[in-house]
């Protein structure tokens, strides 16, 4: 086995056959002059196109390229975790396969790491080629998350970031199943700083984060770092009880005056309202309960179908 490289590049890829080659060339061009040595870890997250073939081809032509093929599509956050587990370098940079996270920024991230930071975020100054809806919703979401978690989650950062050795070790030690990596990394602590960049449009293909998945990720972030949604249930319950009491008093008053109009009998509305509040409360409890269930089952995060470019043959993630 060759000596450990200075930097590992961790790239999750799900149906990214059109981007892999360009990404590799770009990375080679930008990262080679900036570090002593690097390895490129490509994680094929159950792609149904030629992504794995491309990874194998690259790995055969360049020994710095390693591939990990997951047994199925486990999702972006888990693919990143699989990559992190495989890192051999002292530091690692996580970036997307679609070139939205420009490799040109990596030397700057490395520079900051050398200055002593354990976590260097690449923060999106400008987002090019994204829908108006995504920009606005993302901006609002990051700010809401920050308010609700009592945590200094940096706004406008994705998973594009550098992790130093201590941060890598700490992240590997976290066994959580519903992983929201950007939240976890903030939670780690250690000296952290940001580098601002322009987020590019996708190189090719379409987003692998349709709205449903994006909402899932957003909710993972909220539920794993905040109890506020649970409290919302309590608050809305209190409000409902308050309203019901006020309504009772009003109804009683009108009855005593014997002037309650006939239509003034919105019992149905009250019942619906109370039922709604209870359902919301139960739903929120269920969200947390489901997460507890996931943790208790304690299944491995992922399974590896095969690897290229490394001597390791393990099919289980390290525990
Ligand atoms: N990705 C993945 N597994 C998934 C979905 C996405 O590994 O289930 C990868 C994808 O190939 C890309 C990165 O995660 O490298 C970010 O996905 P995408 O670019 O589609 O998200 P967006 O930039 O649109 O938010
Ligand atoms: Mg993208």
pLDDT tens-place string over residues 205-231 = 888 887 888 888 888 888 887 878 888
- Domain 7-213+300-308 in CATH 3.90.550.10? The answer is yes
* CB 166 near ligand 1, within 6 Å: no
Q: What is the pLDDT of residues 110-160, one digit of tens each?
A: 999 999 999 999 988 777 777 888 888 888 888 888 887 777 777 777 899
CA–centroid distance, residue 169 to ligand 1 (Å): 24
Q: How far apart are CA 45 and CA 319, in angstroms?
A: 20
Residue located nearest, by CA, to atom 25 of ligand 1: 209
Map tokens 């208790």 to a residue.
296
More confidently predicted of 19 and 197:
19
Flag the least confident range among 24-38, 189-203, 219-233, 249-263. 249-263
At 311, the pLDDT band (50, 70, 90 cuts) reads low
* CB 100 near ligand 1, within 6 Å: yes
Q: What is the pLDDT of residues 268-284, one digit of tens each?
A: 677 777 878 888 888 88
* CB 303 near ligand 1, within 6 Å: no
Look at strands 192-199 and 119-127 and give their pairing.
Answer: parallel
Round to the nearest angstrom and report the end-to-end CA distance of the chain: 23
More confidently predicted of 180 and 107:
107
Point out the ligand 1 atom lying closest to the alpha carbon of residue 11. 15
**Interval 13-26 mean pLDDT:** 94
Contact predicate 107/31, CB 8 Å: yes
How much is the pLDDT for 23? 95
Q: How far apart are CA 114 and CA 231, in angstroms?
A: 43
CA–centroid distance, residue 100 to ligand 2 (Å): 6
Number of neighbouring beta carbons within 10 Å of residue 178: 17
Please report, rounded to a whole number, the percentage of residues in the chain having pLDDT higher than 90. 43
Residue located nearest, by CA, to atom 2 of ligand 1: 76
- What is the value of pTM for the model shown? 0.77
Strands in 157-163's sheet, in edge-to-edge order, are 192-199, 119-127, 157-163, 91-94, 7-13, 38-44, 65-70, 304-308
**Interval 78-94 mean pLDDT:** 95
Residue located nearest, by CA, to atom 8 of ligand 1: 75
Flag the least confident range among 186-190, 211-215, 254-258, 302-306. 254-258
* CB 310 near ligand 1, within 6 Å: no
Residue located nearest, by CA, to atom 19 of ligand 1: 207
* CB 97 near ligand 1, within 6 Å: yes
The neighbourhood of ligand 2, an ion, using CB within 5 A, equals 96, 98, 100
How much is the pLDDT for 133? 83
**Quick one: which ligand is closest to 15's CA?**
1
- Dihedral in degrees, nearest 10, Cα atoms 263, 265, 269, 275: -160
């Amino acid at each position: 086995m060759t000596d450990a490289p200075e930097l590992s590049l961790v790239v999750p890829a799900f149906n990214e056959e059109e981007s892999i080659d360009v990404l590799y060339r770009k990375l080679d061009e930008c990262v080679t002059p900036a570090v002593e040595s690097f390895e490129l870890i490509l994680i094929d997250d159950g792609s149904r196109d030629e992504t794995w073939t491309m990874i194998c081809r690259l790995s055969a032509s360049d020994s710095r390229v390693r591939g990990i093929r997951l047994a199925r599509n486990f999702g972006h956050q888990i693919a990143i975790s699989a990559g992190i587990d495989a890192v051999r370098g002292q530091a690692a940079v996580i970036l997307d396969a679609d070139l939205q996270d420009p490799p040109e920024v990596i030397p700057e991230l490395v520079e900051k790491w050398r200055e002593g930071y354990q976590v260097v975020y690449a923060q999106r100054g400008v987002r090019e080629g994204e829908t108006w809806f995504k920009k606005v919703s993302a901006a609002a979401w990051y700010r809401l998350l920050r308010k609700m978690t009592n945590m200094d989650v940096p706004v406008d950062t994705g998973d594009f970031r550098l992790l130093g050795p201590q941060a890598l070790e700490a992240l590997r030690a976290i066994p959580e199943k519903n992983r929201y990596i950007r939240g976890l990394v903030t939670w780690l602590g250690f000296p952290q700083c940001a580098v601002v960049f322009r987020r590019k449009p996708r190189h090719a293909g379409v987003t692998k984060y349709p709205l449903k998945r994006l909402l899932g990720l957003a909710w993972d972030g909220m539920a794993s770092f905040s109890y506020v949604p649970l409290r919302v249930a309590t608050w809305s319950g209190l409000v409902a009880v308050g309203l019901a009491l006020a309504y009772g008093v009003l109804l009683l008053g009108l009855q005593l005056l014997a002037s309650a109009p006939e239509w003034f009998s919105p019992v149905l509305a009250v019942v619906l309202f109370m039922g709604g509040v209870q359902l919301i409360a139960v739903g929120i409890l269920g969200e947390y309960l489901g997460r507890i269930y996931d943790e208790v089952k304690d299944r491995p995060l992922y399974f590896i179908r095969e690897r290229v470019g490394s001597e390791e043959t393990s099919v289980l993630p390290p525990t």
